[in-house]
Structure 1
Amino acid sequence: MKYTQTTLDKIERIVEEGGYLLRYEKGTFQSGYCVLKEKKVVVLNKFFQTEGRINTLVDLLPQLDIHIDLLTHESQKMLDEVMSIEHE
């Protein structure tokens, strides 16, 4: 997977289409992110560069309750690609 803004945009779209609000904020995150599952909010450290944001979202996606039927076809393909990376 390439660490580009386009890749980041596609992964962010998966999170948003899955019904989550994605925010970039500063804070004292031990892991660089915080997930408020009840409110469906994902907060990432705003100081992460593109590569860090992509890696964090790739790590987070399996933990989120995203129903594949809510996603566009393009997002479904991207989610499959991301999940296959997780299982390598």
Structure 2
Amino acid sequence: MSLPLTNHTLEKLEALLFAVGFKVRYEKGTFKTGSCLLEHNKIIVVNKFSNLEGKINALGMLVKQTNLDENLLDEKQRQFYHSLQQIQLF
């Protein structure tokens, strides 16, 4: 099973991260997508030039590597989060 490579999937990942306090920014540059804590703000910077698959895989991996507070998620987001835990990302 894998994530569908659609804009809808990207939007769901962004909404999930936003719900737990992350800001997702798309910036130009020659860098890999990553997250950081900047003055107590949780920020994820995504390479604007990455293709859709790269953006989805990067955000999906960050979600899988981060312990999210499920209490901040609504039921649909919680189901999506649990389904992400079962998916093998590259």
**Shorter chain as normaliser: what TM range?**
0.7 to 0.9
The match for 1:79 is 81
Residue correspondences, number: 85
| Unaligned stretches of 5+ residues in structure 2 | none
Deviations 1:27-78 (A, max 9, x none): 232xx21311342000010111211111111111133342011011111111
**Coordinate RMSD, CA, aligned:** 1.7
Q: Supply the distance in 2 between the matched residues of 1:36 and 1:61 (Cα, whole angstroms).
A: 13
| Unaligned stretches of 5+ residues in structure 1 | none
CA contact (8 A) 2:64 2:84 kept: no
Does the alignment pair 1:67 with 2:56? no
Q: Which has the larger strand fraction?
A: 2
SS for the counterpart of 1:76 is helix
TM-score, length-scaled by structure 2 = 0.83
Displaced runs of 4+ in structure 1, greater than 4 A?
none
Q: Supply the distance in 2 between the matched residues of 1:40 and 1:33 (Cα, whole angstroms).
A: 14
The match for 1:53 is 55
SS for the counterpart of 1:41 is strand
CA contact (8 A) 1:19 1:66 kept: no
TM-score, length-scaled by structure 1 = 0.85
